[in-house]
């Protein structure tokens, strides 16, 4: 009976157990242990003992036992204060203080409050977790001209200001309205022209600043002396001198004593527009 089932079964008391489907090999079984192969042969395992190590984690991240030349960890100690980090970045916006913390972290360190006010009048509160005073000193040693791509006007750590900035106010300007009226550009080759007789008594001085509006679209221009027959002009010199640089303005204004301001223009002839002339008085 035993010979008939050799290599197929083993006896375990009164029960016959079919072992022909055994798939283990010696390297699967720990050294010092025995097992039966599918052929019924008793063999000893050769697998080395499992290597376990301990691990202390102080930074957020992904860890693999293989990196520690171990098969696994027998004990893992986690000591991440809060996952928070602070970096000072110089970019196109200036110097930016970036403070972040790991999502879902449960910090055990003391919470500190960073408060920011911005030039656009918005505010922001950021929390940082630490117990080491050196971290606070590192924060206040920065110059956070920007944060989150906004200009910082006030930065406080736990209610104490360590940075402030007062933007230079934009100077106010006073403009004198000289004339406003309805006009049609006259046709001429290669450009049309405006004839504004109401402006005949106003000279264009070099360096003087004017605004000429076309249907509420403002063009700010400064008087430039051409040194030629046109004298001081406002606008695009290319329209009176094809070799001059084209600065994109749709007209060139000049007053050469013909009883009007003349404006050579690229605007469509015969199309009604409202012109408004203003001169800068103070700035």
pLDDT tens digits for range 6-25: 555 545 555 567 778 888 88
pLDDT tens for 199-255 read: 999 999 999 999 999 998 999 999 999 998 999 999 999 999 999 999 999 999 999
Torsion sign (Cα): 240, 242, 244, 248: positive
8 A C-beta contact, residue 8 and residue 40 = yes
Give the predicted TM-score (pTM) of the model.
Answer: 0.44
- Give the confidence band of 39 by pLDDT, cuts at 50, 70, 90: confident
| pLDDT score recorded for residue 12 | 52
Say how far apart CA 233 and CA 224 lie, in whole Å: 5
In this prediction, residue 87 carries a pLDDT of 55
> pLDDT at position 11, please?
54
Task: Read off the pLDDT of residues 148-159 as tens digits, 9 standing for 90 and up.
Answer: 888 999 999 999
C-alpha–C-alpha distance, residues 139 and 115, integer Å: 12
Per-residue confidence (pLDDT) for residue 69, from 0 to 100: 74
Q: How confident is the model at residue 97 (pLDDT cuts 50, 70, 90)?
A: low
pLDDT at 79: 59
Among candidate residues 167, 145, 152, the one with its CA nearest the CA of residue 89 = 145
pLDDT tens, position by position, 156-181: 999 999 999 988 877 788 999 999 99
> Do residues 241 and 163 touch, judged by C-beta distance below 8 A?
no
* Distance from C-alpha of 235 to C-alpha of 271, rounded to nearest angstrom: 20
Helix H or strand E encompassing 134:
helix 133-140
Cβ neighbourhood burial of 84 (10 Å; 0-12, 13-18, 19+): buried
Tokens linked to 101: 């913390």
Q: Could you report how far apart the first and last alpha carbons of the chain are, in Å?
A: 117
- For the segment 36-44, the average pLDDT, to the nearest whole number, is 85
Q: Which of 6-10, 24-28, 87-91, 120-124 has the highest mean pLDDT?
A: 120-124
Q: Which two tokens stand for residue 87?
A: 């970096």
* Least confident window among 72-81, 96-105, 134-143, 254-263: 96-105
Q: Between these two residues, 6 and 43, which has the higher pLDDT value? A: 43
111 vs 87, more confident: 111
Checking DSSP bridges between strand 261-265 and strand 192-196, what pairing results, if any?
A: antiparallel
Helix (H) or strand (E) holding 135: helix 133-140
* Mean pLDDT of the chain, nearest integer: 82
């Amino acid at each position: 009976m035993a010979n008939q089932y050799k290599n197929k079964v083993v006896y375990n008391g009164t029960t016959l157990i079919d072992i022909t489907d055994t798939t283990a090999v010696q390297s699967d079984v720990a050294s010092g242990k025995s097992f039966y192969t599918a052929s019924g042969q008793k063999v000893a395992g050769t697998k080395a003992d499992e290597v376990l190590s301990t691990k202390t984690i102080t930074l957020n991240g992904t860890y693999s036992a293989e990196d520690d030349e171990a098969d696994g960890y027998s004990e893992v100690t986690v000591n991440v204060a809060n996952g928070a980090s602070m970096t000072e970045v110089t970019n196109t916006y200036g110097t930016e203080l970036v403070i972040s913390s790991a999502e879902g972290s449960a910090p055990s360190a003391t919470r500190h409050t960073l408060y920011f006010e911005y030039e656009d009048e918005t505010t922001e509160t950021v929390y940082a977790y630490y117990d080491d005073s050196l971290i606070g000193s590192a924060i206040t040693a920065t110059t956070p001209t920007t944060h989150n791509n906004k200009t910082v006007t006030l930065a406080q750590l736990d209610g104490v200001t360590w940075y402030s900035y007062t933007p230079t106010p934009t100077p106010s300007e006073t403009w004198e309205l000289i004339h406003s009226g309805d006009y049609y550009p006259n046709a001429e080759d290669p450009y049309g022209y405006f004839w504004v007789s109401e402006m005949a008594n106003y000279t264009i001085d070099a360096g003087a600043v004017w605004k000429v509006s076309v249907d509420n679209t403002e063009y700010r221009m400064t008087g430039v002396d051409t040194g030629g027959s046109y004298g001081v002009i406002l606008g695009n010199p290319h329209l009176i001198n094809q070799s001059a640089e084209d600065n994109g303005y749709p007209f060139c204004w000049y007053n050469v004593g013909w009883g009007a301001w003349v404006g050579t223009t690229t605007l469509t002839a015969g199309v009604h527009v409202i012109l408004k002339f203003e001169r800068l008085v103070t700035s």
